[in-house]
Structure 1
């Protein structure tokens, strides 16, 4: 067990993944410092940096693709196409591991900062703000660290079960069709709103926030939702 842990740590270090722990920690630290600055000096660069590495949609698409090609292997058993499909599967799994581990180690860096801030804060004030975030970021750290193994294990079990059926190729084809349907339907369910980006003066942004006591984004969104389409000329 100890040898396996050492092997994993060596692999993560060689892949440069340990650096994402430091990135998560430092970005969170600078985000907290940034929140203490006057509004005209505040920047969102550190938050945007973290989010740019947390490619959840890409990870979801890669997982669906891995299941898709695993079903192709079941259908194309003992053919030349199986070799090509297996090489694609290996590459997909490698990309899933990279994406998952980056998110996981970023969350671990944020987790470490929250632990440090909670310990320091506990000495001065009775505040559980960072205590809640310790749990919030410990869970995704564990989840995304194990995500590639869970996907791989799930696919292995699924393929083994399918091959036990006499008409396993038909079942695999049905799963492929379900994956295609999911790839089309799921984005439609969670993509009913159109995102839009607007740019406003920082002074005006701060003034809206001070007067409404809510984020200007929410205030503007409410104003847009209150618009009666029939009144627009």
Structure 2
């Protein structure tokens, strides 16, 4: 797939959850296209449906109705195993809470997705070494997560997301637990990867300033989605 082609195509996506006798609507007829190589911020208040939308994009949840194409493949017809395989091959996840395994070194945390793919430990560690070096932590790869700062742990999480060379990175409040300067550093890293590697970046954030740095800003409210114009000023360049 070439940059600019559609990676994500959603049409009339609805999602609701059962609560007792009632169905609680969360997403209401979402139609959305994201091209390969784009960066998109998803913004909105708590409970607006942002995380639900991200879960559907990440193949962690299935919509109640509607059509969702990922890399041209209709997800409605994909089996659980096929969805797991696509998730492992196409998508890298970055979470606010880092989700690192405390007893594994930074290197082995990054290597983990490749072990799930069936790579040998040696091969997985070789690939992980390159990604850790890319995020500037070559001198910290033997450290356990507890021995790393919050910003360093998030860099490890980004390296883990990249180790499988995904087409899509889904980031859920990736700077939410970081101080301002560290948050900017992590954002700079994600945008650099987006611009130099054509990795599609979709990020849920409450930070309006960070959202303005991405190509598009999608506002979710009441289960509906609207695209907001960006106001590029001090963030240009």
Higher strand residue share: 2
Higher helix residue share: 1
Question: Higher relative contact order at CA 8 Å, sep ≥6: structure 1 or structure 2?
Answer: 2
Q: TM-score, normalised by structure 2?
A: 0.22
Q: TM-score, normalised by structure 1?
A: 0.22
